[in-house]
Structure 1
Amino acid sequence: MSGYRNSYETRCAAQIGPEYAYEPVKLTYTLECSYLPDFVDVANKRIIEAKGLFDTADRRKILAVKAQHPDYSIEIWFQKPDMKISKGSKTTYSAWCDKHGIAWKQGPLR
C-alpha cells in the first residue's frame, strides 16, 4: 500500500499532486466542554462522582477535568468497581482509577 493506511488513501494519493506530503504534521486541538459534578464540597474543592456505567467518554472527561483543575480532588464511587472498562479488556473501573491516580471506592450497595 505504499505507506498509506488503506487502499483508498493509496488511490487518492495517485491523484493528488506531489506538493502534498502524506501525514507530515500532527495538529493538536481542544474541545471546550463543561462538566457538572454529582457532589461537590465547594469550600474544600472536593468532588465525588457516583458512577454505574463508566464509559470511554466519562473516562476521558475525568482525565481532562483532573488535568485542567488540579486544585480539585476527585473521588469516584462505583456501583460495581470490578466491572471491566470494555468487553475485551482485563482492566476494571477500579484498576483504571488506580492507574490514573484517581481515588475511588465501592458506593452504597442498597
Structure 2
Amino acid sequence: MSKKKKKEPTPRNSFERVLDKAFSALSSEMKFDYKYEPETFNVKVDVTYKPDFIAETKSGRVIVEGKGYFRDEDRKKVLAFTQQYPEYKYHIVFERDNPIYKGSKYRYSDWCNKHGISYSVKSLPKELFE
C-alpha cells in the first residue's frame, strides 16, 4: 500500500486567489517564503483561527488575512489573535472598505485604526515584508 501525500490547501475564492498571485509575485521579488493556511492557532478555549497566509521574512513571520466580508466573529478572532500572539506582524487585506454594518458610516478601516490593526485595500504593501 502506498501512502497518499497530503494535499496543500489552495485558495477557495477569487479574492484569495488574487492575493495568492500577489504573494507569489512579491515573494519572488523580495525573496521570502509563504504558505496558504499552513497553521491553526488556538485563540480562545473554544475557538481556533487559521490565517490565510504566513510569510517567512527576514524580520520574522507576517500573518496576512484576506477579507471580503469582515463579520463580527472575524473581528473577535482577529482581536484575540493579535492580543495572544503579539510576536507576529498581522495585516488584513480587504477586498473593499465596506461599512461594518449595513447603513453604518463606520467602515472596516475605522475598526482597524481603532484597534491598531494594520490593513490595506486590494493591495499588499511591500513595506510589510521588509
Confirm or deny a common fold (TM above 0.5).
Answer: yes
* Alignment RMSD: 1.5
Quick one: which amino acid aligns to residue 87 of structure 2?
Answer: D
Name the structure with the higher helix share. Answer: 2
Using structure 1 for the length normalisation, give the TM-score: 0.65
> What are the residue-to-residue correspondences of 1:1-110 with 2, within 5 Å?
31-42=45-56, 44-81=60-97, 83-108=98-123
Give the number of equivalent residue pairs. Answer: 78
Structure number, greater radius of gyration? 1
Q: Which runs of 5+ in 1 are unaligned?
A: 1-29
Residues of 1 paired with 2:93 and 2:107: CA distance? 14
Secondary structure of the equivalent of 2:74?
helix
**Runs of 4+ with >3 A deviation:** none
Counterpart contact for 1:50–1:107, Cα < 8 Å: no
Identity of matched residues, %:
41
Quick one: which amino acid aligns to residue 121 of structure 2?
Answer: Q
Name the structure with the higher strand share. Answer: 2
Using structure 2 for the length normalisation, give the TM-score: 0.56
Quick one: which amino acid aligns to residue 92 of structure 1?
Answer: R
Quick one: which amino acid aligns to residue 58 of structure 1?
Answer: D
Residues of 2 paired with 1:31 and 1:80: CA distance? 31
Quick one: which amino acid aligns to residue 31 of structure 1?
Answer: V
Secondary structure of the equivalent of 2:92?
strand
> How big is each residue's C-alpha offset from its partner over 1:26-80, in whole Å with a ceiling of 9 and x where there is no partner?
xxxx633111110101451211100000000000000000000011111000000
* More off after superposition, 52-61 vs 37-46: 37-46
